[in-house]
Amino acid sequence: MTSQTPILQLAGVTRNFGGLQALKDVSLRIEQGDLRGIIGPNGAGKTTLFNVITGEFKPSSGKVYLRGEDISGLPPYTICRKGLSRTFQLTRIFPEMTVYDSIWAGANSKASHPWNPVSSARHLKHIEKETLDICKLIGLEEKKDELAVNLSYGDQKVLEIAMALSTKPSVLLLDEPTQGVGGKEVDMIVEVVKKLSEKMTIVLIEHTIDVVMQVCKTVTVLTEGHVFAEGTPQEISANKEVQRVYLGEEI
C-alpha cells in the first residue's frame, strides 16, 4: 500500500501569516479510498490546511501533490478541475438560485464548453442528468426547485456537499459538515458521507468526536499547526497523549 502513489500528499507544508505559523511542517499521505478525519482544538490549523490544499493560500514552503502531481500554489479553479473539491465551514451557497441551478453550475464546469453562450441551458441533457443524479444521491430531489436561501440550515449544509460533488471530484474535502446542525440532520449528513466514501476519497474536518470515530477509517490529530498523532480511530482514542491534549477536554 505504501509503495503506491497516495491520491493526496502533503510534504513539509508550512504556512505563515506574518509572525504566526498556522501550519508547521505538515506531512500527510492520504491513500485512495481513505476517509480521513482531521481533528484538533480550535486554531489548530485545520481550515488553513484545507485552504492550502485547495489553492486559497499558497504554502509558505512545502508541496502538495494530487495523484503525484504538484498542485501547490495553483489557483482554486484549476485544482477543482483536477478533481479536488471542497465544502466550506460557513456555508457558501448561491442564495438566490434554486438547488437545481446551484448543482447544475458545478456539473456544467466540467462540460466540454462550459462558456457556451448559444445553447439553452435547459436543453443540455447530459448535464441535466448529472444534476438530477446528484439531487437524488444526496436526497434533495424534492427540494430541487426551491431557492437555496429558503432551505433549512441542515439542508444548506447538504447542498454545500452536493455542490462540491457536482464537479465530479476524486477527492472531497468536507469542512465541518455537521457544525450547527440539529440531531436528526447530523445523522442524515453522516449517512451521506458514508455513502460518498464508497466512491471517492474524503477528508473530513469534524468537531464532533462521535462522528469522527463512527465514520472515519483513519484520523489525523492536528495541534498548533503540526501533526500530533495519526492512526485508526481506535488507536487515536487509545492514545494517552491525544486524550490529554485534546480528547480530555471534550469527554
Q: Nearest Cα to 10, choosing from 36, 33, 40?
A: 36
Q: How far is the CB of 188 from another protein (least distance, A)?
A: 22
Helix (H) / strand (E) containing 164:
helix 153-165
CA angle, corner 223, sides to 218 and 225, nearest 5? Answer: 105
Nearer to another protein, 96 or 235 (CB): 96
Burial of 198 by CB count in 10 Å (0-12 exposed, 13-18 middle, 19+ buried)?
exposed
- Could you write out the three-class secondary structure of 143-159? HCCCEHHHCCHHHHHHH
Q: How far is the CB of 103 from another protein (least distance, A)?
A: 10
Q: How far is the CB of 128 from another protein (least distance, A)?
A: 12
Q: How far is the CB of 171 from another protein (least distance, A)?
A: 13
Nearer to another protein, 110 or 217 (CB): 110
Sheet with 61-66, edge to edge strand ranges: 20-30, 8-17, 61-66, 69-70
Nearer to another protein, 33 or 95 (CB): 95
| CB neighbourhood size of 68 (10 A) | 10
**Residues at the contact surface with another protein, assessed by CB under 8 A:** 54, 75-77, 80-81, 85-86, 88, 92-97, 101-102, 104-106, 108-111, 113-122, 124, 127, 163-164, 166-167
Q: How far is the CB of 208 from another protein (least distance, A)?
A: 24
User: What's the CA dihedral at 130, 136, 142, 143 to 10 degrees?
Assistant: -60
Q: How far is the CB of 163 from another protein (least distance, A)?
A: 7
Nearer to another protein, 9 or 85 (CB): 85
Nearer to another protein, 118 or 251 (CB): 118
Phi, then psi, of 230 in degrees rounded to 5: -150, 145
Nearer to another protein, 11 or 97 (CB): 97
